[in-house]
Structure 1
Amino acid sequence: MSSKTRQLAINGGPKTIEKTFPWPIYDESEVNAVAAVVAGGKWGNPDCGDEVERFERAFAEYCGSKYAITCVNGSVSLRLALMACGVEPGDEVIVPPYTFITTASSVIECNCVPVFVDIDPETYNISPAAIEAAITPRTKVIIPVHFGGLACDMDAIMDIAKRHQLKVIEDAAHGHGAEYKGKKLGSIGHVGSFSFQSSKNLTSGEGGIVITDDDELYAIMHSLRNVGRVEGGQWYEHYNPGCNYRITQMQAVLLSAQLKRLEAQTRKRNGNGLYLNGLLENIEGIAPLKRTEAVTLHGYHIYIFKYDASEFGGLPKSEFAAMLAAEGVPSFKGYPHPLYKQPLFQNKTWMCYAIPDTADYSQTHCPVAEQACDTDAIWILQHAMLGERADMEAFASAILKIQEAAR
Structure 2
Amino acid sequence: MKGNISFSLSFNFNCMKQKFNRREFISMAAAAGTGLAVAGPNFALGQESKKPAILGGSKAYTSGFSAWPLFDDREEKALVSVLKSGNWGRLNGPVVAEFEKAYAGLNGAGHCLGVSSGTAALTTILGALGIGPGDEVVIPVYTFIATYNVVVLNYALPILVDTDIETFQIDVKKAEAAVTAQTKAIMPVHIGGTPADIDALIRLGEKAGIPIIEDACQAHLAEWKGKKVGNFGLAGAFSFQSSKNLNCAEGGAILTNDADFARACYTFHNQGQGGTGTSYGTGSGTRATNLRLTEFQGNLLLAQMTRLQQQVETRTENAKYLTELLADIPGIEPAKWYPGTTRSAYHLYMFRYLKEHFHGLSRGKFVEALNAEGIPCDPGYGQMNRDAYVTGLASNPHYLRIYGEKTMKEWLDRNQCPQNDTLTREQSLWFFQTMLLGTRENMEQIAEAIRKIQKYAKQIAKA
Q: TM-score range by the shorter chain?
A: over 0.9
1:216-365 matches, cutoff 5 A = 216-231=260-275, 235-237=279-281, 238-240=283-285, 241-335=287-381, 337-348=382-393, 349-350=396-397, 352-353=399-400, 354=402, 356-357=404-405, 358-360=407-409, 362-363=412-413, 364-365=415-416
Which residue does the alignment assign to 2:74?
29
The 3-state SS of whatever aligns with 2:169 is coil
Which residue does the alignment assign to 1:86?
130
Question: Are the equivalent residues in 2 in contact too, given 1:169–1:191 (CA < 8 A)?
Answer: yes
Which residue does the alignment assign to 2:169?
125
Structure 1's unaligned 5+ residue stretches are: none
The whole-number CA distance in structure 2 between the counterparts of 1:116 and 1:356 is 19
Asked whether 1:372 is paired with 2:438, we answer no
**How far 1:239 moved relative to its partner?**
2.0
Which residue does the alignment assign to 1:144?
188
Asked whether 1:74 is paired with 2:118, we answer yes
Q: Which of residues 232, 238, 246 is equivalent to 1:202?
A: 246
Q: Which of residues 434, 437, 445 is equivalent to 1:386?
A: 437
Question: Are the equivalent residues in 1 in contact too, given 2:346–2:433 (CA < 8 A)?
Answer: yes
Report Cα offsets for 1:308-356 as digits up to 9, x if no partner.
1111121111111122122112321112x22212212212233545455
The whole-number CA distance in structure 2 between the counterparts of 1:25 and 1:142 is 35
Asked whether 1:177 is paired with 2:221, we answer yes
1:91-106 matches, cutoff 5 A = 91-106=135-150
Which residue does the alignment assign to 2:201?
157
The whole-number CA distance in structure 2 between the counterparts of 1:333 and 1:232 is 44
Q: 1:254 to 1:232 in 2, by over 3 A?
A: closer
**How far 1:70 moved relative to its partner?**
1.1
**How far 1:215 moved relative to its partner?**
1.8
Report Cα offsets for 1:39-86 as digits up to 9, x if no partner.
222223334x21110001111111111111111111111111112123
Which residue does the alignment assign to 1:215?
259
Structure 1 length-normalised TM: 0.95
Question: Are the equivalent residues in 1 in contact too, given 2:184–2:210 (CA < 8 A)?
Answer: yes
The whole-number CA distance in structure 1 between the counterparts of 2:385 and 2:158 is 9
**How far 1:184 moved relative to its partner?**
0.6
Q: Partner amino acid for 1:74?
A: G
The 3-state SS of whatever aligns with 2:424 is helix
The 3-state SS of whatever aligns with 2:212 is strand
Q: Partner amino acid for 2:454?
A: Q
The 3-state SS of whatever aligns with 1:331 is coil
**How far 1:7 moved relative to its partner?**
4.0
The 3-state SS of whatever aligns with 2:341 is coil
In the comparison of the two structures, how many residue pairs are matched?
405
Q: 1:234 to 1:316 in 2, by over 3 A?
A: closer
The 3-state SS of whatever aligns with 1:32 is helix
The 3-state SS of whatever aligns with 1:170 is strand
Percent identity, please. Answer: 37
Question: Are the equivalent residues in 1 in contact too, given 2:185–2:210 (CA < 8 A)?
Answer: yes
Q: Which deviates the most, 263-272 or 1-10?
A: 1-10
Which residue does the alignment assign to 1:401?
452
Which residue does the alignment assign to 1:44?
89
The whole-number CA distance in structure 1 between the counterparts of 2:367 and 2:234 is 38
Question: Are the equivalent residues in 2 in contact too, given 1:5–1:405 (CA < 8 A)?
Answer: no
Question: Are the equivalent residues in 2 in contact too, given 1:177–1:262 (CA < 8 A)?
Answer: no
Report Cα offsets for 1:275-295 as digits up to 9, x if no partner.
111111110111111124411
The 3-state SS of whatever aligns with 1:359 is helix
Report Cα offsets for 1:253-287 as digits up to 9, x if no partner.
11011122222211221222121111111101111
Q: What root-mean-square deviation, in Å, do the aligned CA atoms of Structure 1 and Structure 2 show?
A: 1.7
**How far 1:307 moved relative to its partner?**
0.5
Question: Are the equivalent residues in 2 in contact too, given 1:117–1:130 (CA < 8 A)?
Answer: yes
The 3-state SS of whatever aligns with 1:374 is helix
**How far 1:5 moved relative to its partner?**
4.0
Q: 1:64 to 1:333 in 2, by over 3 A?
A: same
Q: Partner amino acid for 1:400?
A: R
Q: Which has the higher helix share?
A: 2
